[in-house]
Structure 1
Amino acid sequence: MGELYLVRHGQANSGATTEEDYDRLSGLGHAQARRLGDWMRNHEGPFDQVLCGSMRRHRETAKGMGYAPDHIDARLNEMEYFALVRDMEVNHGIRPPASSEDFADHMTQTLNAWEQTTIAGAEPFSTFETRIQAAVSGATKPGKRVLCITSAGVIAMVMRGALGLSIEQMAHVLLPIYNSSLHRFRIRPEGTFLLTFNGIPHLDAPDLADQRTHL
């Protein structure tokens, strides 16, 4: 039996309007990563392998947690959301979300359109799904504990595979994923099984409520 731990990066530059500008941790994001790393060292044993997406926010989170990745794997990179947003406006006349409520509806519409190939983004939905499945399959080994630092869309896609989620269900799983959250899976020959979703034990204290962020 193996174990797979997925960590979402700390808060990035949430006010950005481009992928490049978004791809860096905020001051709070760095603090979240440090707190999670401290918690992991106090409550979890060592990992047999540490993997990290190649995005700056992934690498900064790994460093803040105190982990030196054994491998940087671009297959663990996030979907290019801003490209999808542009396609939704050009192809469907749906403007970018103006509020958190709009964001929830927009994400569901966007993932639906992407899966149905009425928008393309930077890569097809099928390619995004396949590369994540390949990365997870290659990382998980019987009896091994593996840590992956990645993004919310990747975590939601792993959840889709493990739980058989529809695209709408995947969107609603993606939306509440906290920055620096922990997601744990048990790997068995018969499949991947969820043990922990969206854990933030390092931010549970009441005085840290303002550090619990989604964006």
Structure 2
Amino acid sequence: MGQIYLVRHGQASFGSANYDQLSELGQEQARLLGEWFAGTHQQFHRVVCGGMKRHRQTADACIAALPKLSRIDLDWETDPDFNEYDHHEVLVKHRPEFDDPGEVKRFLASSPNAKYAFQDIFQAAMSRWMSGHYDGEYREPWPAFQRRCVGALRKVMAGAEKSQSILVFTSGGTISTICQHILNLQNKQVAELNWSLVNCAVTKLLFQGDRVTLSTLNSYAHLEWLGKPHTVTYR
């Protein structure tokens, strides 16, 4: 039976001019994951990265922590179908004024509980995107994103040899949508699951042929073992 490890990228640079890069903590999270894999003697046969910078940075930091012999024969590939949805477009279609980064910063600065206020707004933006009433307004409507994520998973499975262990570096929305496919979740549950996924957490799938099951979801023991709460982040 084959194994697919879906890794959410490390903490990105939320609030900066370029979100698509790891923060210093994000680099540390990825390194800790690699050390955890090394300590548990986990062997991988393939590495698949989404096409985003934060995916590759997470992969590089994680794999660099593995023993040299474990890295030599790894097959690497990039598949943009594991990319995240366009969170900026989803947000701006709901709140057009947030197209201006300065307006987002002003909103966060003026909100007593900025993190939760922004989460409420983004949750509403996700509901709009998923509703099906405005599909023509988005470059990638929700059903198209679902098909892309499931298609990416199927490609990995179809290209795998029996009993392969495959590391996939991707994003929270992609992982949540793949879980929706496996567990038959409602759209609302996908959005809620997405909020709960920890940066650099691992979701493990088992597959045989075209059958796939969920083994573990959102595992981040590798971040907890240091006993430092700051290493566990969600944004």
Q: Please say whether Structure 1 and Structure 2 have the same fold, judged by a TM-score greater than 0.5.
A: yes
Aligned ranges 1:51-200 → 2 under 5 Å: 51-66=48-63, 70-90=76-96, 98=108, 99-115=114-130, 116-118=132-134, 120-140=137-157, 141=160, 142-189=162-209, 191-200=211-220
Contact 1:162 1:191 in 2 (8 A): no
Whole-angstrom CA distance in 2 between matches of 1:55 and 1:158: 18
Question: What is the aligned length?
Answer: 209
Q: Structure 2, unaligned stretches of length 5 or more?
A: 65-73, 98-102, 109-113
Q: Look at both structures and tell me which one has the larger radius of gyration over its CA atoms.
A: 2
- 1:12 corresponds to 2:15: no
Whole-angstrom CA distance in 2 between matches of 1:204 and 1:179: 12
What letter is aligned with 1:10? G
What letter is aligned with 2:174? V
**Structure 1 residues 105 and 44: alpha-carbon distance in aligned structure 2, compared to 1, 3 A threshold:** farther
Contact 1:52 1:59 in 2 (8 A): yes
Deviates more, 1:166-175 or 1:182-191: 182-191
Deviates more, 1:102-111 or 1:155-164: 102-111
What letter is aligned with 2:134? T
Contact 1:107 1:171 in 2 (8 A): no
What letter is aligned with 1:118? Y
Percent of aligned pairs with the same residue? 29
Give the alignment's Cα RMSD to 1 decimal: 2.2
What letter is aligned with 1:41? A
Structure 2 length-normalised TM? 0.81
Q: Structure 1, residues 91-131: CA drift from partner, whole Å, max 9, x if none? A: 9xxx9785332344334322322121425444111221111
Contact 1:117 1:124 in 2 (8 A): no
Q: Structure 1, unaligned stretches of length 5 or more?
A: none
Runs of 4+ in 1 over 4 A off after TM superposition: 95-98
- 1:22 corresponds to 2:19: yes
What letter is aligned with 2:80? A
Q: Structure 1, residues 139-198: CA drift from partner, whole Å, max 9, x if none? A: 024422211000100011111111111111001100011111111011145732111111
Contact 1:62 1:69 in 2 (8 A): no
Whole-angstrom CA distance in 1 between matches of 2:182 and 2:28: 31
Structure 1 length-normalised TM? 0.88
